[in-house]
Structure 1
Amino acid sequence: MALLDVSEVLLDPDFLDTSLVCQRSAQTVGDNGRATNTANPMPFAGVVTSDKGDLLERLAGGERKKGSITIHTRFALSAGGPDQSADIVTWRGRDYTVSSVNDYGHFGRGFYAATCDLLPLAG
C-alpha cells in the first residue's frame, strides 16, 4: 500500500464539487420479454478536471462536438459490464457517459479516476 493518502485532497472543499449526479441504470425484463432500463439518480462528490476538453471534429458529412472530463472520487463509478450499462454522470447541466475507470484503492482510503465522454455527440 502506498503511504500517501490522496483521498485527503479529494475531500478538500477547495477542490471538491458536490453537484455531481450519477444515473445508474438497472434493467428489468417485463412479462412481455422486453427489457426496460430504470435510472437511479445518486448524488456524489468528486474533483472534476478537463480530460481532452471540448473538441470540434470536422468530417466530410459535417461537424460534431465531443468532449471529455476526468472525475476523481471515492464513489465507485462503473464503465458498464455484462449485466450493467455504463453510468451517466450529470455535471454543470451536461451528461457524460463513464468510458473508463481506474481503481486506486491502494492509496490510503482509496479513490477512483473515471474518464467520461460528453453525451450526446452534437453536430
Structure 2
Amino acid sequence: MIDVSEVITDPDFAQAYVVHRRSDSWAAGRTLSSEAPIKMVGVITVADAKTLNQLPEGDRVTGLMCFYATKELFTTRDQGTSDQIEWRGERYRVKQVFPYGDYGYYKAIGERMAGD
C-alpha cells in the first residue's frame, strides 16, 4: 500500500492546528473530566463552507472542514467526548473520522462549534 503521510505533513500543503482531547475518569463516586492539547500538522480543506441551521431561537451558521492527520483523531468514545480541533481561532468538533491508517493518514470532518 502507498504511504501518503509525507504529503499530509509537507510544509507546502500542511498547517498547524491543536487537537483538544477530553477524557473522563471515575474517582470517589464522581466523573472527572480533563482536556489535553495535542499539537498536530496536516492538510486542511473545506468540506462545506457554510451550513445554515434554522432553529426556533434563530438561524445559526456553521461550516464543515476536513482535517488530515498522521495521528488518529476520535469521535465520541468510551473515555470521553469527540476531539475538538482549534484552527485559526475557531473550534471544530469532530463529527466523522475516515480511518485511512493503512495509507498513513486519518481524515476527520469537523463542524465549527461557534455559530454566527
Residues 95-106 of structure 1 aligned to structure 2 (within 5 Å): 95-106=91-102
Q: Larger Cα Rg: Structure 1 or Structure 2?
A: 1
Contact preservation (8 Å) 1:68, 1:115: yes
- Aligned partner of 1:34 among 30, 44, 56: 30
Q: Does 1:24 align with 2:18?
A: no
Residues 77-88 of structure 1 aligned to structure 2 (within 5 Å): 77-88=73-84
Contact preservation (8 Å) 1:45, 1:75: no
Q: What is the alpha-carbon distance in structure 2 between the residues aligned to residue 80 and residue 30 of structure 1?
A: 21
* Residue 59 of structure 1: how far off its partner (Å): 4.8
State the aligned residue count.
116
Q: Deviations over 1:37-96 (max 9, x none)?
A: 111111111100011112334455421111110011102111121232111110000001
Instruction: State TM-score, norm by structure 1.
Output: 0.83
Q: What is the alpha-carbon distance in structure 2 between the residues aligned to residue 8 and residue 53 of structure 1?
A: 27
Q: What is the alpha-carbon distance in structure 1 between the residues aligned to residue 23 and residue 79 of structure 2?
A: 9
Q: What is the alpha-carbon distance in structure 2 between the residues aligned to residue 26 and residue 49 of structure 1?
A: 27
SS in 1 for 2:6: helix
RMSD: 1.7
Contact preservation (8 Å) 1:27, 1:38: yes
Moved more, 65-74 or 6-15: 6-15
Residues 52-67 of structure 1 aligned to structure 2 (within 5 Å): 52-59=48-55, 61-67=57-63
Contiguous gaps of at least 5 residues in structure 2:
none
Contact preservation (8 Å) 2:22, 2:80: yes
